[in-house]
A and B are shown apart, each in its own frame.
Chain A
Amino acid sequence: MSYFTRRTLIKGGTAAAAAGALTGPALLDWAKAWAQNAPWKPEKGAKLSMLRWKYFVQSEDDAFVKLIAAFSKATGVPVDISRESYEDVQPKASVAANTGTGPDMFWGLYSLPHLFPQKCVDVTDVADYLGKKYGGWVESAVTYGKSGNKWIAIPVCYSGNMINYRIEASKKAGFSKFPDKSDAFLEYAKAMKKNNTPGGFALGHASGDGNGWVHWCLWSQGGNAVDKNDKVIINSPETAKALEYAKALYAEMIPGVASWNDASNNKAFLAGEINWTDNGISIYVAAKKDPSKKQIAEDMDHAYWPIGPVGKPTELHLMYPVLAMTYTKYPQACKALMAFMLEADNFNPWIESAQGYLTHCLNAYDKNPIWTADPKNTVFGQAAKRSLTAGGLGSVGEKAATAIADFVILDMFANYCTGREDVKGSIAIAERQLKRIYR
């Protein structure tokens, strides 16, 4: 069994080399040893199929395929992987849960397992095993993974959504670093606009970036869609405050954000049209790869979301849990695969291959060199720890997922910012929709 430490990873230097550290025979030997000692023995003749979200970076998928191949060789369990755009995994999983046929495992978005908790294999033993071995789960991951006292899914990773900004332009506007308080952020946006170096957040139906910033805005001012008993409390002075804040911010943004989708701010940032926005690490990765954008890569950095009057981080990052369906004939094989995926020897090279797009939920992986190899990656390493869960104070189930998918909060902000509705009107529309979803 080969040993995989942080030192060998650092020696490897680049992500590719690190991923290469345990490939071929070494990885297979390790995998075989693991399979012999693992607490979960796959059933005889087991075959697995998994539907996962479609990768953002090819290297991540390559590493995942390698990992699965090692699992198959070591355990003799063939695994068939299919991929769907991340928004489409949920409907397919719902239908599978309802009809009792389909892939054994689903790897999808945040509240997926909570849409049908009674159809998910109890994986408490896997979660406990991994938690004990790797320094415990971050808080938000526990919320996503557990239903009652049972773990119904294994939280694999988050994809972080953080502030992206240009260093030079910010300095010119008088900010040597990105503001960490929401009031200062508003001042920053004003100064940036004045210098003709504005930024912007998506206010169109952008599932990732749009929902990311409006939820941050709502929560940072103390607003909430529902309380902890899922009672709708959107109609509050705090929500009104958040709307006012957003409108003030909107006035300082580049024109056109009301039509932006998830790709618009990437394009605009990479073209030098905007100087601050919210995004995953994709802008930075794209800028690094393209020689003509080298200057942007050097002149940009990432920051945490500013903290609002509530005094603590109020960020919303996307979680990707993996679950096994109760109809599977091979629950032990499913559990073995879940545990295998998150073992250090597999998980470390895999998370590195994702180049910072994905953030771990197990504390021990803070040490992964991807977060320190490039200081501009560091903030993404904290995404899991800083994330709140979909639904805010409320449950993470179907209702929260529906409210996000139907853009209830996003439309409330867009309605007010663009002047289509006044404060009361935009809150009333959202409240009516939320009451129906949460009835």
Chain B
Amino acid sequence: MAELAINDRGLSRQVTAWDRLKVDRNWLSFWFMLPAAAFLILFLAYPLGLGVWLSFTDARLGRDGIFVGLENYEFLWDDSTFWLSVFNTLLYTTVASTIKFAIGLYLALLLNENLPFKAIIRAVVLIPFIVPTVLSAIAFWWLFDPQFSIISWSLKKMHLISSNIDFLGDVWNARWSVIFANIWRGVPFVAITLLAGLQTVSPSLYEAATIDGATNWQRFRYITYPLLTPIIAVVMTFSVLFTFTDFQLIWVMTRGGPVNATHLMATFSYQRAIMSGYLGEGAAISTAMIPFLLAAILVSWFGLQRRKWQQGESND
């Protein structure tokens, strides 16, 4: 039809390249994608590109910078606080994500059983995720207060310790404390998403396995786990991304202290860029996060492409 119409009009005037483009089937998909692409470019690619560009300038807050090449990165390379924040971020992400996965999977398996009040229990599990992060961070800040911690208080009353525990003032205590808060907050997301995955596993598989005499462990190992792998890959990618870029918990609880022992790259970047006004350097710290994040995304991306992950062992 469309071609016909063109031919008709083509009699009266020259068919321009624009006319062809407007109706070309191959270009049509391009036109349809244009709004979405414009949206992504404007709100995702442009800020990201701008951030990377800023990291190559000496921009200050409220003032354009000039191109300085790798100067910001060179400074950071020798900056012990920067490397400390990298170490903190990796530790925070690895430990918190691993534990979140373990507890989340365990909870999901439990919730998948036939429990009384199943719906209510499932809703309750979500609570830590529903509470605004800043609120829960303030709650943890009080729980870990050097003078007023209820934990220290209870242990003291039970005569287990004689003086308050310095949760946020000691380097390692502070790290474990913020990791604990992050786990508390992140478990529901992992648990509920994995639960959704578990419910897609067909019961007939379990029935067949039971008839074959499979044990509980075998049913988990050879049915649940392989079928859950794609979901696990997605959930853990998200979980790692969220943890790696965490900001609120740390900022409210410790502001990166004591002596920068809990500064993550995100909080450190904020401190340098916004508080001190060194936009360029702050952008460089943020940009330094990109390789780590890309690695996390690629792992799950390649993983999801492999049929082995989706359909079990030997089907590559």
* Interface set of A (CB-CB < 8 Å, partner B): 87, 90-91, 93-99, 115-116, 203-205, 254-261, 264, 267-268, 271, 273-274, 398, 401-402, 405-407, 411, 414-415, 418, 420, 429, 432, 436
Contact = CB atoms under 8 A, between A and B. Distances in A.
Contacts, number: 115
A418 B62 contact: no
Contacts of A398: 60, 277
Interface stretch (B42-50, B168-176, B204-212, B308-316): B168-176
Contacts of B170: 258
B247 interface: no
B260 A411 contact: yes
Interface stretch (B1-9, B221-229, B251-259, B284-292): B251-259
B258 A402 contact: no
B277 A94 contact: yes
B133 interface: no
Q: Is the interface of B mostly helix, strand, loop or mixed?
A: loop
B139 to A, nearest CB: 15
Interface stretch (B22-30, B191-199, B267-275, B299-307): B267-275
B259 A94 contact: no
B189 interface: no
A411 B255 CA distance: 12
B278 interface: yes
B164 to A, nearest CB: 7
Interface pairs A-B: 7 shortest CB-CB: A256-B146, A94-B62, A259-B168, A258-B258, A205-B255, A259-B169, A406-B276
Contact of B259 (A99, A264, A411): A411
A304 to B, nearest CB: 26
Contact of B62 (A91, A254, A257, A271): A91
B147 A254 contact: yes
A256 B259 contact: no
A12 to B, nearest CB: 39
Nearest to B254: A259
Nearest to B64: A98
Given A91-B62, A98-B64, A255-B164, 19 more contacts: A93-B62, A94-B277, A95-B61, A97-B62, A204-B254, A256-B166, A256-B168, A257-B146, A258-B166, A258-B258, A259-B169, A264-B146, A268-B148, A398-B277, A402-B276, A402-B278, A405-B276, A420-B171, A436-B75
Chain A interface mostly: helix
B36 to A, nearest CB: 31
Interface in B54-110: 60-64, 75, 78-81
Contacts of B259: 258, 411, 414-415, 418, 420
A271 B153 CA distance: 14
A82 B302 CA distance: 51
Interface string B157-200: 00000011011111100100000000000000000000000000
A271 B149 CA distance: 13
A204 B260 CA distance: 9
A24 B123 CA distance: 57
Nearest to B259: A414
Contacts of B274: 91
Interface in B213-271: 254-261, 271
Contacts of B255: 204-205, 261
Contacts of B256: 205
B277 A91 contact: yes
A271 to B, nearest CB: 7
A115 B257 CA distance: 28
Contacts of B78: 432
Contact of B166 (A116, A255, A407): A255
A256 B171 contact: no
A429 B257 contact: no
A418 B258 contact: yes
Contacts of A260: 146, 169
A95 to B, nearest CB: 5
Contact of A418 (B81, B171, B277): B171
Contacts of A258: 166, 168-170, 257-259
Which one of B164, B274, B275 has the highest number of Cβ atoms from chain A below 10 Å of its Cβ? B275
A348 to B, nearest CB: 35
Interface in B97-151: 145-148
B63 A94 contact: yes
Given A203-B258, A205-B255, A436-B75, A259 B146 contact: yes
Contacts of B60: 94, 398
17 contacts: A87-B275, A90-B61, A94-B63, A95-B62, A96-B62, A204-B258, A255-B146, A256-B164, A256-B168, A258-B258, A259-B146, A259-B174, A264-B145, A271-B147, A402-B278, A411-B81, A420-B171
Nearest to A269: B147
B78 to A, nearest CB: 8
A204 B276 CA distance: 17
Contacts of A98: 62-64
B166 A406 contact: no
Nearest to B277: A402
B166, B259, B272: residue with the most chain A Cβ atoms closer than 10 Å: B259
A205 B257 contact: yes
Contacts of A255: 146, 163-164, 166, 169
Given A98-B62, A205-B255, A429-B80, A257 B275 contact: no
A271 B167 CA distance: 19
Nearest to A115: B62
A380 B238 CA distance: 52
B293 to A, nearest CB: 25
A276 to B, nearest CB: 15
Q: Which of A97, A116, A273, A418 has the most CB of B within 10 A?
A: A418
* B61, B164, B166 — most chain A CB neighbours (10 Å): B61
Nearest to B281: A436
A260 B169 CA distance: 8
A78 B60 CA distance: 34
Nearest to A268: B147
Contacts of B254: 204-205, 259
Nearest to B78: A432
B277 A405 contact: yes
A203 B166 CA distance: 13
A309 B129 CA distance: 54
Contacts of B64: 98
B257 A204 contact: yes
Contacts of A415: 259
A196 to B, nearest CB: 11
B275 A405 contact: yes
A238 B149 CA distance: 38
A67 to B, nearest CB: 29
Contacts of A116: 62
B148 A91 contact: no
A256 B169 contact: yes
